[in-house]
Structure 1
Amino acid sequence: MRRRALVAGLMAAPSLARAEGPFPNRPIRLVIPWPPGGTNDIVGRLVTEGMAARLGQPIVIENRGGAGGMLGAEVVAKAPPDGYTLVLGGSGSLTITSLVQARVPYDVATAFAPIGMMALGPNVIVVHPSLPVHSLKELQAVARRSSPPLSYASPGVGSTGHAAGAMIAQALEVEMEHIPYRGTGPALNDVLAGRVPVFTNALAPMQPHIQSGALRAIAIAGQRRSTAMPALPTTGEQGFPQIEAATWFALLGTGGTPPDRIATLFAALNATLADPEVRRKLLEGGLEVEPSESPEAFARYFAEDRARWAPVVRRAAMRVE
């Protein structure tokens, strides 16, 4: 009886697949693991609007914040691997969170199916103008003389900004004190007020203050200069190539999603990123458009990003209980 049921199930599987029709034939859900209104939300809504038009199905946004992006990511990690549940992943919600959280309810290396990158937000290292620093070498010299240690702000314990500050201190071989805040806004306010002299964050929220002179930018923490600030040298150009802290935004599905469905989503994603209007809006937001060559290329980038941050997190003893 059991054998007959198994055979019947196997025979029914192809007909079920045929009955479902071509992918996608129903709405897709995109989980954004952060509250509405932030950069992740803006990027996700802009890109998925174009993807939905190309796929012929609506993409429904679900904002689910909490635990540094882990709560939203968990929803996708445990969803059926059918391509209908996606996550807007990033360096904070997937890479840093998986390294600093004491208990992660999924294996980040296998729980997700990488589809492709959307954009890259180059992090900029800024100081308050009262600090006599215009370069990383000058920051290193001032930090070595400082007693008590020079402090840096971050949006919170275990955030990308926390890890970036630790990376800078390690690369410069100096001691710096971490001052955590509850988000980018409060951290930025105290840096603008001169209460904390150093801050590293995505360029978009800091660009107006750099242009006004309220903050001084000393480096782009990445491999390439920013299109929005082409005159600002990178950390590598200043002799510290190990400082690389860009905030990336990407699309991933549930681990085990069939390759043909990943390919369909990848094609819609890259076609959207090639749209001049989408590119213009992303660039205006201080982001670099960064399409992947293939899902496999993005998978390699994802693994390399985690490998780059792991020793930084370990040396800084970053842990969120």
Structure 2
Amino acid sequence: MKKIIKVCALAALATAPFMGSVAEASDYPNRPVKFVVPWPPGDLEDILTRIIAEDMAKETGKPTTVVNKPGGAGIVGASDVARARADGLTIGSFVIDILTTHLLSGNAPYDKDTFEPVGIFLDYPFVLATKADSKYNNIEELAEYSQTHDVSLGHFGYQALPTAITFKVAAQEGIKFSSNAAFDSNDCSTLSNGDADVINTTTQQILACLKSGDVKLLASLTRNRLSIAPDVPTLNEQTGISQTTWNGLFVKKGTPEAVKQRIAEIAEKALSSDRVKELSATTGAGIYWIGGKFAEEVVTKDYEASKSLLDYMKE
């Protein structure tokens, strides 16, 4: 009898961590959930994260908030998630840079194993844009114009992947930027106020001036041509540079698998709504869901691919 009791006790000890995770997952969320967007409100990752948060609140009956924490090209918000517990109650909505270029450049106060992906859901419609009356209409013409005229560049920070891609384009194609500056937002006013002549931004930030005809696109940093600008060639078509930028949901490493699955179920359902389909159609954004091991593979692959861009990142 003592041997049976001992075996049962050992079995209980062995399964205790597993049972704890199951209990925690089945009760998820037992407290309010916070989504952290490390950028100002209004861009695609913010809008989509808010849609996911709204659905989570409806599905679970628990308060769910979206907190915008811009600064440090995304590092301020990412650090907030890095300090959180591994319980799925703090979820980061992260652009690729946070998991790749920031780490590779030694710019991040967290390490490669700090976060785990819940899922990747957005291909940003990043573009190079300028005022409609600019004398250049594509990358080749921009390069030629910059040889004899000052052209300033606005971007999202020196450690941001789209910035690094833009610097690589400039080096490869012979574009001479007379100056460049980082902004938390690169929108219509950045161009109209003269803060920059060319901006590296997303279509969401400049939709109003694209529709009004005050701004035009020189190239899209996307896999395919944008649905809202089918006549504008991609960067890959013009230069052969094909890397793109995505956004996904991430939690602290060690978060129970069942909790991650619950978050993924809610997010995937939210992203299949008509509201999201309309957003994709109006902005040209690629909106989808890649979860689990496939998301991990994307992160690993892009981490390796980003190493080649380090030479184009400036302090």
Q: Please give the range of the TM-score, normalised by the shorter of the 2 chains.
A: 0.7 to 0.9
Q: Please say if residues 38 and 70 of structure 2, whose CA atoms lie closer than 8 Å, have aligned partners that are also in contact.
A: yes
Q: Secondary structure at the match of 1:113?
A: strand
CA displacement at 1:56 relative to structure 2? 5.2
Tell me, yes or no, if structure 1 residue 123 matches structure 2 residue 116: no
Quote the offset at 1:49 in angstroms: 1.3
Aligned equivalent of 1:261, options 239, 259, 262: 259
SS at match of 1:29: strand
TM-score by length of 1: 0.80
Q: Whole-Å Cα distance in 2 between the matches of residues 207 and 264 of structure 1?
A: 34
Please give the secondary structure, in 2, of the residue aligned with 1:291: strand
**Residue in 1 that maps onto 2:96:** 91
CA deviation after TM superposition for structure 1 residue 20, in Å: 4.4
Shift of 1:114: 0.6
Deviation at 1:44, TM superposition (A): 1.4
For the Cα contact (< 8 Å) 1:227–1:288, is it kept in 2? no
Once residues 11 and 190 of structure 1 are traced to their aligned partners in structure 2, the CA distance between those partners, rounded to angstroms, is: 57
1:180 shift after superposition: 0.3
Offset, 1:225:
1.5
* Matching residue's letter, 1:221: L
Letter in 1 for 2:110: Y
Q: Which residue of 2 aligns with 1:3?
A: none
Note if contact 1:126-1:199 (Cα within 8 Å) is conserved in structure 2. yes
CA contact (8 A) 1:126 1:215 kept: yes
Shift of the 211–11 alpha-carbon distance from structure 1 to 2, 3 Å rule, reads closer
- The residue that corresponds to 1:141 in the other structure is 144
Match of 2:180 in 1: 179
Per the alignment, in what secondary structure is the counterpart of residue 237 of structure 2? coil
Amino acid at match of 2:297: R
Tell me which residue corresponds to 2:314. Answer: 318
Distance 2:35 2:180 in 1: 33
| Structure 1 SS opposite 2:91 | strand
Q: Which amino acid aligns with 2:287?
A: V
In structure 2, stretches of 5+ residues that fail to align are 1-9
Q: What residue in structure 1 maps to residue 268 of structure 2?
A: 270
Deviation at 1:35, TM superposition (A): 4.1
For residues 34-73 of structure 1, what are the structure 2 equivalents within 5 Å? 34-55=39-60, 57-73=62-78
Q: Judging changes above 3 Å, is the alpha-carbon distance between structure 1 residues 202 and 55 closer, same or farther for their aligned structure 2 residues?
A: same
Matches within 5 A, 1:173-212: 173-185=174-186, 188-192=188-192, 196-212=196-212
Q: Is the 8 A contact 1:55 1:268 kept in 2?
A: no
Q: Partner amino acid for 1:75?
A: D
Deviation readout 1:79-106 (Å, 9 max, x if unpaired): 3323232111113544444345x54221
In structure 2, the partner of 1:219 is: 219
State the shift of 1:117 in Å. 1.7
- Which letter maps to 1:105? P
* Letter matched to residue 22 of structure 1: S
Give me the identity figure in percent.
22
Please give the TM-score of this superposition, normalised by the length of structure 2: 0.81
Change (3 A) 1:206 1:245: farther
How far, CA to CA, are the matches of 1:245 and 1:15 in structure 2? Answer: 41
CA RMSD of aligned residues (A): 3.2
Are 2:299 and 1:295 aligned?
no
SS of residue in 2 equivalent to 1:290: strand
- Equivalent residue for 1:152? 153
- The answer to whether the 8 A contact 2:35-2:90 is kept is yes
CA drift of 1:57 comes to 4.0
Q: Pick which of 81-90 and 193-202 moved more.
A: 193-202
1:2-13 pair list within 5 angstroms: 13=17
Name whichever of 217-226 and 299-308 sits farther off. Answer: 299-308
1:126 partner SS? strand
The structure-2 alpha-carbon separation of the partners of 1:78 and 1:266, relative to structure 1 and needing over 3 Å to count, comes to: same
2:26 counterpart residue number: 22
CA distance in 2, matches of 1:39, 1:276: 16
| 178 and 316 in structure 1: CA distance in 2 versus 1, 3 angstrom threshold | farther
